[in-house]
Amino acid sequence: MTSPDRTGAAEALIRGPRRRRVRGGVPLPLLLPSLIGLAFLLVPLVALLIRAPWSSLPDLLTSTEVWQALQLSLVCATAATAVSLVLGVPLAWLLARVEFPGRGLVRALVTLPLVLPPVVGGVALLMALGRNGVVGRWLDAWFGITLPFTTTGVVVAEAFVAMPFLVISVEGTLRAADPRYEEAATTLGASRFTAFRRVTLPLIAPGIAAGAVLAWARALGEFGATITFAGNFPGRTQTMPLAVYLALQNDPEAAIALSLVLLAVSIAVLAGLRDRWMAPA
């Protein structure tokens, strides 16, 4: 859970592993568990492919409900990532660059949604932003805004779960980045905000990209907080994971087909991002 580790992992995701060969053979105590680990991660995905109802797949996937769910998933995950970027990057900067009492505690609280079961997150969101919630009550009374059961509610739930990934990733990159560049910029007359915009942001761009991908992937797969906070209605709040879960109840084949779509989208996005940002370091 230490931030540098996570960022390292995140950046490896984007840039690809550094090519450095281990000299000599790989020791067995490392090779064996690593191969088991690899199989453990890959076998379920392969099983999904083997059991996929390939013949009926076209019919299953051309239904409007699937496309609705997929479209909604993509839109909401992207919107949640945008929200996370707008709020998360400044938060990460605050945590990395500004000394204030209780900073460690704040950092721990920010990462809490990472370890919290998403359903608990959903309940917490209802308590805060529900129609009768601590904040939601005033949103309803003053602006007539209610978030549960709306597409915006899905975005809120996904952002709540996904933003910590971005904050952790960006904060780690910020800590690794040399603050002297910013200091130099300020001594040359730039304001602190200009220094952030012109020096820090370009410097930590790969970390932000890595964090955004992690957050997007997390938002795309988000289930618990979404179904608890935003409910489940086709075309409005039923994202792909919800559709998969409910399809599994009466039509496992449809669930597998939907899972394949989600898997394909995830692979496509990760592969696409790798091509764009991959630069053999």
Q: Which stretch binds another protein (CB under 8 A): 17-25, 33-41, 51-59, 124-132?
A: 124-132
Question: Amino acid identity of 260?
Answer: L
For residue 144, the minimal CB distance to another protein (Å) is 12
- Cα–Cα distance between 169 and 176 in angstroms, integer? 11
Residue 132 interacts with another protein (CB under 8 A)? yes
The reply on whether position 249 binds another protein by CB under 8 A is yes
- DSSP, collapsed to helix, strand or coil, labels residue 162 as helix
Tell me which stretch binds another protein (CB under 8 A): 1-9, 21-29, 171-179, 241-249.
241-249
> Interface with another protein includes 126 (CB under 8 A)?
yes
Q: Does residue 231 interact with another protein by CB under 8 A?
A: yes
Residue 37 has a CB neighbour count (10 Å cut-off) of 10
Q: How far is the CB of 74 from another protein (least distance, A)?
A: 21
Cα 105 from Cα 117, distance rounded (Å):
20
> Is residue 149 within the footprint of another protein (CB under 8 A)?
yes
CA 116/CA 123 separation, integer angstroms: 11
For the CA atoms of 215, 218, 223, 228, the dihedral, rounded to the nearest 10 degrees, stands at -30
Question: Could you say whether residue 128 binds another protein (CB under 8 A)?
Answer: no
**Per-residue DSSP letter, 15:** H
Nearest distance from C-beta of residue 239 to another protein, angstroms: 13
Which two tokens mark 242? 């919800």
Number of residues that bind another protein (CB under 8 A): 20
Q: Is 67 in the site for another protein (CB under 8 A)?
A: no
Q: Which two tokens stand for residue 129?
A: 């932003």
Q: Which of 33, 235, 252, 272 binds another protein (CB under 8 A)?
A: 252
Residues numbered 78-117 forming contacts with another protein, rule: CB under 8 A = none
Say how many C-beta atoms besides its own lie within 10 A of residue 35's C-beta.
Answer: 11
Binding to another protein by residue 250, rule CB under 8 A? Answer: yes
- Smallest CA-to-CA distance from 242 within 69, 45, 6 is with 69
Using CB under 8 A as the binding rule, whether residue 7 contacts another protein is answered as: no
Nearer to another protein, 220 or 227 (CB): 227
User: What is residue 251's three-state secondary structure?
Assistant: coil
Q: In terms of residues, how long is the chain?
A: 281
Q: Among residues 227, 240, 244, 261, which is the contact residue for another protein, using CB under 8 A?
A: 227
Closest residue by Cα to residue 110 from 89, 134, 132: 89
Binding site for another protein (CB under 8 A): 126, 130-132, 148-149, 227-228, 230-234, 237, 245-246, 248-250, 252
